[in-house]
């Protein structure tokens, strides 16, 4: 039997909450009541309702556009007020749309989402109140379950992203993230209001702990990961200056504690301490590096001075014309002035070597002629 559903209607279905998809004029109380009452009546008589019959019944009896009714039904399914079934199997809204696009006459049926006992729902509410969830006081079971489902989906998405990030570097929390992913997988396996609330009830003791763990992981990977990357990358540099760092008892102790935090599988409650310790050790490290750079600059200047003295004497002994030898010596003197502008030891040494090699070659060429 033809369903009467048109592919154009199906193609334009948006999957999401009605309050996001519709404006107030369309999603008014009257239309909501018409759809809900029609589905409720059909389910009361037959245990289920056929999607195409609901669309036809509501649209023809009330002179309302069928595409809008279809969209509203999908919105209700997304919000867990209804379930879609096909061939005895519950299917999510997106799969229902795909099945209808392939075959508009597919016998998709609607089943009302069951409610859990009041005592069960109350216990779940109280558990979520401990987590500080914004929806913890919702009294409507479907609205509560939908909000909880969205939260678990977000948790799962975030933790999946964080876990991938943790695999690329020396980042903590892998065990906690594996636990969170296993937890959310259990709660997302059946996305009906009844299943969400029932599964949450089974996890009452764990919910507050899991929520705190997620918040800890979320805070670290959204706010502290930049500092952690800097810390992990800089710690090996501290090792190069360890003897000098250890000359100061306070700095030595700070570096030791910092190493313990970096190697800890659960450093999250020590991030503030790690920032303070890092500042202490890094300040000392930078001072040591600066002094090493200053020593390098001084040694380079002394080497240039020595080369100038030697080449001056050598070229004078060979009676090299001053107009020829002065450019060679001038280049060395100009190089000497550049050392103070270079930011690291490698550049100072490289510039010094290049200048000395060039001046030596030029002087030898002049003395050989």
Residue 28's pLDDT band (cuts 50, 70, 90): low
Q: What is the pLDDT of residue 228?
A: 95
Whose tokens are 């979520």? That residue is: 128
Domain ranges of the chain: 7-112, 118-221, 241-369
Residues 97, 109: contact at Cβ < 8 Å?
no
pLDDT tens per residue, range 37-58:
888 888 777 778 899 999 999 8
Q: Write the pLDDT tens digit of every residue in 88-111.
A: 788 888 899 999 999 998 989 888
Supply the DSSP symbol for 189: S
Q: What is the pTM of this model?
A: 0.68
Q: Which residues contact 84 (CB under 8 A, 6 or more apart)?
A: 51, 77, 90, 91, 92, 93, 95, 96, 108, 109, 110, 111
pLDDT tens digits along 6-22: 889 989 888 876 554 44
pLDDT higher than 70, residue 23: no
Residue 221 has pLDDT above 80, yes or no: yes
How deeply is 352 buried, as exposed, middle or buried, from its count of CB atoms within 10 A (0-12, 13-18, 19+)?
buried
Nearest residue to 42 (alpha-carbon basis) of 34, 18, 62: 34
Higher pLDDT, 191 or 181: 181
pLDDT at 32: 81
- Cα gap 81→75, rounded to integer Å: 9
Average pLDDT over residues 327-334: 92
**Is the per-residue pLDDT at 262 higher than 60?**
yes
- Asked whether residue 1 carries a pLDDT value surpassing 50, the answer given is no
**113-133 pLDDT, tens per residue?**
888 999 999 999 999 999 999
Model pLDDT, residue 141: 85
DSSP 8-state symbol, 22: -
SS3 of the chain: helix, strand, coil, percent, to 5: 75, 5, 20
> Scanning the structure block, which residue is given the tokens 């570097």?
169
């Amino acid at each position: 039997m033809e369903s009467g559903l048109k592919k154009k209607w199906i193609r334009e279905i948006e999957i999401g909450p009605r309050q996001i998809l519709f404006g107030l004029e369309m999603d008014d109380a009257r239309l909501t009541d018409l759809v809900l009452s029609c589905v409720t009546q059909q389910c009361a008589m037959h245990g289920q309702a056929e999607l195409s019959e609901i669309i036809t019944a509501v649209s023809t009896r009330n002179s309302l556009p069928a595409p809008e009714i279809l969209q509203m039904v999908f919105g209700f399914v997304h919000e867990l007020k209804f379930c879609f079934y096909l061939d005895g199997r519950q299917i999510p809204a997106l799969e229902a749309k795909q099945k209808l696009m392939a075959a508009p006459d597919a016998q998709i049926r609607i089943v009302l989402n069951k409610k859990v006992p009041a005592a069960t729902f109350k216990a779940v509410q109280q558990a979520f109140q401990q987590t500080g969830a914004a929806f913890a006081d919702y009294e409507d079971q479907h609205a509560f379950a939908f909000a909880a489902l969205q939260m678990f989906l977000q948790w799962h998405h975030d933790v999946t992203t964080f876990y991938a990030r943790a695999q690329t570097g020396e980042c903590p929390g892998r065990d906690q993230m594996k636990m969170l992913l296993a937890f959310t997988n259990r709660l997302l396996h059946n996305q009906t209001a009844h299943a969400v609330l029932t599964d949450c009830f089974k996890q009452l003791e764990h919910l507050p702990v899991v929520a705190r763990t997620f918040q800890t992981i979320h805070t670290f990977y959204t706010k502290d990961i930049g500092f952690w990357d800097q810390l992990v990358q800089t710690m090996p540099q501290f090792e190069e200056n360890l003897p000098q760092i250890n000359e100061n008892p306070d700095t030595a102790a700070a570096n030791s504690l910092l190493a313990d935090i970096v190697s800890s599988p659960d450093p999250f409650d020590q991030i503030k301490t790690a920032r303070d310790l890092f500042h202490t050790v890094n300040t000392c490290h930078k001072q040591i590096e600066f002094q090493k750079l200053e020593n390098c600059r001084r040694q380079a200047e002394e080497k240039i001075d020595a080369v100038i003295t030697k080449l001056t004497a050598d070229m004078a002994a060979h009676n090299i014309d001053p107009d020829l030898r002065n450019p060679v010596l001038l280049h060395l003197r100009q190089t000497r002035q550049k050392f103070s502008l270079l930011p690291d030891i490698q550049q100072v040494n490289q510039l010094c070597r290049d200048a000395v090699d060039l001046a030596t070659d030029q002087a030898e060429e002049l003395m050989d002629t």
